[in-house]
């Protein structure tokens, strides 16, 4: 009998067909997000699940699936999964690192530039036929990206990909990380490690690129925003919850900083309604990895993880590594 697996959102047809050759597959064909109760019900009797960051795999979900062996997240982040609970139950948790670094860095720069040059505001002006300020010297003025100072909070793979792009704009790059990256990488990227307080004070653009954990909840709050330049722009393509949305909305409303570019939000898909009235906030719906090539690569990586786990091999990208020895038996 084939192992039973659940795919919580619609994925590429070729991915589904490949999985059906090995597994008994239940696929979310209509791509409708499931409420927690429905997700738990559908997990019952499954040995594996391909999940997304919008699926909360918590104690209640796990209790409904006592035979579950692997949670293969189609994402790098795993804050939607109760990893401790999975580990206690011997359930492997995997992710998809590496394949989305450049794509997420691209969107980060897209948001940075859109906020800097007020692209969304200009688009709205054209759509409503408002050209009266188009050629005025005091038309809505943006911020230069070239030769500006970029501060990156979190210099992992994606942070480094962002720093590499900054080089093309002759930007000065500051970064703050729990530890310094190798000096050779600093030289290659033209990046300088500084304390967080200095980064906030000197940067024209602050990019948040740290994985979410309780330790970094509201890493950027009212006090941190107060340290930033009034002309600064904040960009978050990491995870909601790292930035205090209420504090950021208030700062943008009061123009304590110039703008923000945001792909992630605390409590998404719900978000602070204050954002919707702010012309100086450029908003996208958590699409950092949303290109066909990258989403396909993420699915393929997740499938490799799931298949290895259900065939008794160690998954290539195991998150709860304390289960590694048992995974390869």
Mean pLDDT over 265-271 rounds to 92
Mean pLDDT over 173-188 rounds to 97
- pLDDT attached to residue 281: 98
Q: How far apart are CA 253 and CA 251, in angstroms?
A: 5
Active site residue 128: no
Active site residue 176: no
- pLDDT attached to residue 2: 95
Spell 140-167 as b/e; 16+ CB within 10 A means b. Answer: eebbebeebbbbbbbbbbbbbbbbbbbe
pLDDT surpasses 60 at 329: no
* Residue in 42, 118, 239, 317 annotated catalytic: 239
Q: Taken in order 256, 261, 263, 269, is the CA torsion positive or negative? A: positive
**Of residues 99, 145, 6, 123, the one with CA closest to residue 292:** 99
| Other beta carbons less than 10 A from residue 200's beta carbon | 24
Alpha-carbon 197 to chain mean position? 24
* Residue in 186, 202, 250, 268 annotated catalytic: 268
CATH number of 4-98+291-327: 3.30.470.10, 3.90.25.10, 3.60.110.10, 3.40.50.720? 3.40.50.720
Cis, bond preceding 269 (omega within 30 deg of 0) = yes
Q: Express each pLDDT in 68-90 by its tens digit.
A: 999 999 999 999 999 999 999 99
Secondary structure (3-state) at 50? strand
Delimiting residues of CATH 3.40.50.720 domain(s) in the chain: 4-98+291-327, 101-283
| Other beta carbons less than 10 A from residue 195's beta carbon | 10
Q: Taken in order 92, 93, 96, 97, is the CA torsion positive or negative? A: negative
Q: Tally DSSP H helices, then E strands, for the chain.
A: 13, 12
> 226: Cβ–Cβ under 8 A, 6 or more apart, which residues?
256
- pLDDT attached to residue 327: 66
> Which contacts (CB < 8 Å, 24+ apart) does range 55-60 have?
55/8, 55/9, 55/80, 56/80, 57/81, 57/82, 57/86, 58/82, 58/85, 59/85, 60/36
- pLDDT attached to residue 322: 94
Place of tokens 């580990």: 87
Domain covering 101-283, topology: Rossmann fold (3.40.50)
Arithmetic mean of pLDDT over the chain: 95
* Residue in 27, 42, 118, 286 annotated catalytic: 286
- pLDDT attached to residue 132: 79
- pLDDT attached to residue 131: 86
Active site residue 239: yes
pLDDT surpasses 70 at 328: no
């Amino acid at each position: 009998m084939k192992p039973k697996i659940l795919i919580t959102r619609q994925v590429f047809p070729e991915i589904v067909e490949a999985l059906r050759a090995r597994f008994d597959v239940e696929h979310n064909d209509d791509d409708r997000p499931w409420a927690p109760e429905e997700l738990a019900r559908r997990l019952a009797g499954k040995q594996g699940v391909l999940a997304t960051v919008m699926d909360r795999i918590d104690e209640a979900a796990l209790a409904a699936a006592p035979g579950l062996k692997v949670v293969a997240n189609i994402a790098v982040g795993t804050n939607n999964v109760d990893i401790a609970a999975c580990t206690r139950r011997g359930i492997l948790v995997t992710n998809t690192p590496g394949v989305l670094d450049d794509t997420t860095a691209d969107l980060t720069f897209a948001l940075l530039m859109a906020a800097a040059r007020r692209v969304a505001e200009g688009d709205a002006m054209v759509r409503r036929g408002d050209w009266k300020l188009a050629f005025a010297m005091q038309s809505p003025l943006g911020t230069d990206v070239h030769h500006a100072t970029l501060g990156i909070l979190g210099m992992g793979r994606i942070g480094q990909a962002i720093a590499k792009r900054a080089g093309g704009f002759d930007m000065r790059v500051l970064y703050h990380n729990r530890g310094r990256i190798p000096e050779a990488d600093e030289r290659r990227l033209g990046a300088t490690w500084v304390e967080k307080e200095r980064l906030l004070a000197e940067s024209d653009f602050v990019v948040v690129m740290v994985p979410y954990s309780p330790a970094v909840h509201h890493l950027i709050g009212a006090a941190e925003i107060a340290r930033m330049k009034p002309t600064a722009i904040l960009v978050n393509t990491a995870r909601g919850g790292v930035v205090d949305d209420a504090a950021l909305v208030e700062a943008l409303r009061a123009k304590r900083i110039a703008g923000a570019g945001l792909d992630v939000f605390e409590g998404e898909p719900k978000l602070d309604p204050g954002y919707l009235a702010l012309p100086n906030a450029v908003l996208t719906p958590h699409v950092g990895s949303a290109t066909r090539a990258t989403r396909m690569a993420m699915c393929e990586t997740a499938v490799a993880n799931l298949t290895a786990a259900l065939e008794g091999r160690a998954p290539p990208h195991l998150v709860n590594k304390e289960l590694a020895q048992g995974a390869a038996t």
